[in-house]
């Protein structure tokens, strides 16, 4: 066993022992054994000059950022030419040897190491410009934080979430419509989080698939014109390299078959294979097209087809005004799952397929993921295009953009367009209603269950329809009813925030309700002058609040919603308002609280406000790492904002 492999084994065993001891109150190894293994790991890290991800010898701090900065790649990242033919792969080799590897289905990341340390991680983006996600990359499950190579190393890899980890995340989400659709979507969102604590919990892994550059002393390392030696070099640096096989024209077909069999049980999402020449000079000599390099080619799996019968077309209005056709057909098995619906996207595609109820159609999953209609075997074309929106009943119209026809609802007051307002109302900081994701709300609105805010508390009128909906059922319906009952007991601040008044977040809503002593009558009738006098509101926000309550429709909707709620009085203790007029920003990990949300709640309870970024209005930045070089710390120092630790904050609480 080599040293890197031994380090990985030690990290796994030590972390398993720590989790058992601290999280499960179990002891699976003695302190003596733990110390012995820990010392061995420290010794190996010193010997190799390498520190692998998740090593118990280092602690990665969590950090939140306000946005992900963008950066141009040193060299553009091109797509690959594609084929579904095994014979074409064989011909493409042109008598040469190649490396055949998985084409992983995740998010491509460029990593840069300098002096043995991870310096930068950037997403592929549009191939020219990507987003800098260095903080997030540091908490990936398997990338090394330091390596033995002390020059400048640039490599590309695919960030992925395994199917098993994907299932674990989805198992924690009770609402079927809120579950993630596939591992790639989950991975993309996890990699691009503004708070890397979320990334860390998602078990993102990275598999290296290309060495871009390895320079030391101004010279590129010599790999003897052999691409496999680059892969072996990356392995020696502690990276997990994408699984590959060395192939020749005589073995390529057999190797593709082996991968095709392995993909059935492979835990890492893959949508095909990549074939690259081993001879790097030959590959480079072929040049590239405007879109593709000629030294590599992608092989895509042939899509599994199934024949079925079209039962109906569901016309689904969306928040943009588009009314999207969705095909509902007799359930079929595709790629191991049962499929019964597929988006038809627009009228042009629907007409091109000549769809009609009762037609025999062929369906498949594009890239083994997204259900699509491949062919209509009947072609009756007997569908009628709806003349009225299924939600508001207003007249529809056909719009044409870039030669694609779409069906739209032009009614600006259509309930389907209010989805964002409903989504805010049920969100955690507002009425906190579990089981009503944006997708579920959109379905309920499309079916006419919800027209106004208060309708959400009368979904019991549609019990039979809801329990028959795909992905819902009796249990989900009961859970939703219980959540609605809990949501009825709330605070006035949460209610005010839920109304979606422009510029009024939860913090401002709390300040407003406190200023008007939790009296909604006083708040809704307050003048612009009275509202402007509230700390942190100002004239612009005051005019927005006044405008909201002067709108008869909005006011009536707010009153109707309020009649469904039981508003709890907020206890006021003037002596406790020690942070009145003070603005804090919180960053990094916390030690004396469960999370930063608890710190925020305490500050607001004491009369203060919490902002997301440091500005001239910030009074204190709370960060346990006072010497951090993070963007927030730098900004605070530039503006002369005091940076305080949690201990210092707790001292302030004592007075």
Active site residues: 103
* Rounded CA separation 333/306 (Å): 8
What H or E segment, with its residue span, contains residue 543? Answer: helix 538-550
DSSP H or E segment with residue 467: helix 463-467
Burial class (CB in 10 A: 0-12, 13-18, 19+), 166: buried
Burial class (CB in 10 A: 0-12, 13-18, 19+), 231: buried
Pairing of strands 98-104, 270-277: antiparallel
Beta bridge partners of residue 110, listed in sequence order: 122, 156
Neighbours of 605 (CB within 10 A): 15
Q: Which residues contact 301 (CB under 8 A, 6 or more apart)?
A: 84, 260, 263, 271, 272, 368
Strand-pairing partners, residue 156, are 110, 210
- DSSP letter for 122, please: E
Nearest residue to 113 (alpha-carbon basis) of 142, 76, 150, 141: 150
Q: What stretch of H or E contains 327?
A: strand 323-334
Separation of alpha carbons 49 and 46, rounded Å:
5
Rounded distance, CA 275 to CA 268, Å? 18
Q: Compute CA distances 130 → 42, 77, 159, 211, 645, whole Å.
A: 36, 10, 14, 18, 34
Q: Are strands 620-622 and 643-644 parallel, antiparallel or unpaired?
A: parallel
DSSP class of residue 568 equals: E
**H/E stretch holding 399:** strand 397-401
**Residues 88/249, Cβ–Cβ less than 8 Å:** no
């Amino acid at each position: 066993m080599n040293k890197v492999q031994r380090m990985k084994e030690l990290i796994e065993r030590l972390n398993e022992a720590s989790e058992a001891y601290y999280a499960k109150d179990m002891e699976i190894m003695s302190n003596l054994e733990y110390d012995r293994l820990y010392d061995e790991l420290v010794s190996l890290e010193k010997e190799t000059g390498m520190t692998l991800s998740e090593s118990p010898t280092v602690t990665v701090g969590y950090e939140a950022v306000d946005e992900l900065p963008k950066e141009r790649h040193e060299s553009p990242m091109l797509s690959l030419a594609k084929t579904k033919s095994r014979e074409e792969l064989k011909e493409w080799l042109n008598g040469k040897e190649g490396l055949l590897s998985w084409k992983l289905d995740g998010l491509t990341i460029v990593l840069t190491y300098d002096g043995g340390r991870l310096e930068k991680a950037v997403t592929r983006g549009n191939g020219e410009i990507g987003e800098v996600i260095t903080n997030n990359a540091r908490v990936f499950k398997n990338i090394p934080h330091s390596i033995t190579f002390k020059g400048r190393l640039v490599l590309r890899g695919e960030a992925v979430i395994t199917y098993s980890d994907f299932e674990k995340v989805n198992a924690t989400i009770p609402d079927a419509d809120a579950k993630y659709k596939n591992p790639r979507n989950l991975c993309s969102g996890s990699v691009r989080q503004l708070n890397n604590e979320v990334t860390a919990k998602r078990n993102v892994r990275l598999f290296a698939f290309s060495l871009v550059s390895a320079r030391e002393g101004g010279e590129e390392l010599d790999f003897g014109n052999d691409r496999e030696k680059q892969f072996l070099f990356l392995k020696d640096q502690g990276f997990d390299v994408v699984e590959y096989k060395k192939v020749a024209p005589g073995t390529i077909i057999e190797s593709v078959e082996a991968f095709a069999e392995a993909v059935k049980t492979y835990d890492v999402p893959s949508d095909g294979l990549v074939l690259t020449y081993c001879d790097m000079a030959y590959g480079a000599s072929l040049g590239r097209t405007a879109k593709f390099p000629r030294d590599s080619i992608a092989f895509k799996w042939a899509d599994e087809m199934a024949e079925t019968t079209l039962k109906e077309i569901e016309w689904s209005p969306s928040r943009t005004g588009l009314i999207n056709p969705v095909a509902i057909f007799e359930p079929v098995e595709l790629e191991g799952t049962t499929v019964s619906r597929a988006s038809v996207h627009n009228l042009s595609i629907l007409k091109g397929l000549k769809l009609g109820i009762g037609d025999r159609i062929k369906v498949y999953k594009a890239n083994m993921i997204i259900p699509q209609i491949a062919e209509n075997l009947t072609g009756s074309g007997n569908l009628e295009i709806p003349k009225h929106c299924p939600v508001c009943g207003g007249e529809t119209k056909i719009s044409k953009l870039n030669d694609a026809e779409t069906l739209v609802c032009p009614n600006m007051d259509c309930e389907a367009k209010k989805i964002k307002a409903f989504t805010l109302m049920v969100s955690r900081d507002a009425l906190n209603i579990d089981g009503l994701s944006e997708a579920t709300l959109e379905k309920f609105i499309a079916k006419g269950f919800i027209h106004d805010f208060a309708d959400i508390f009368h979904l019991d009128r549609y019990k039979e329809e809801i329990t028959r909906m795909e992905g819902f059922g009796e249990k989900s319906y009961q859970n939703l009813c219980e959540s609605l009952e809990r949501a009825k007991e709330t605070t006035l601040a949460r209610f005010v925030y839920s109304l979606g008044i422009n510029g009024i977040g939860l913090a401002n809503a709390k300040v407003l309700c406190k200023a008007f002593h939790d009296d909604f009558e006083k708040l809704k009738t307050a003048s612009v002058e009275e509202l402007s006098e509230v700390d942190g509101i100002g004239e612009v926000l005051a005019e927005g609040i006044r405008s909201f309550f002067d709108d008869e429709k909005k006011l009536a909707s707010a009153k109707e919603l309020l009649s469904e709620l039981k508003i709890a009085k907020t206890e006021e203790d003037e002596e406790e308002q020690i942070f009145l007029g003070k603005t804090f920003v919180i960053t990094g990990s916390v030690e004396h609280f469960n999370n930063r949300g608890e710190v925020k709640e305490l500050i607001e309870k004491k009369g203060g406000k919490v902002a997301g970024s440091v500005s001239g209005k910030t009074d204190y930045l709370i960060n346990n790492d006072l010497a951090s070089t993070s963007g927030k710390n730098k900004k605070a120092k530039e503006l002369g904002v005091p940076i305080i630790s949690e201990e210092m904050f707790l001292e302030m609480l004592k007075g």
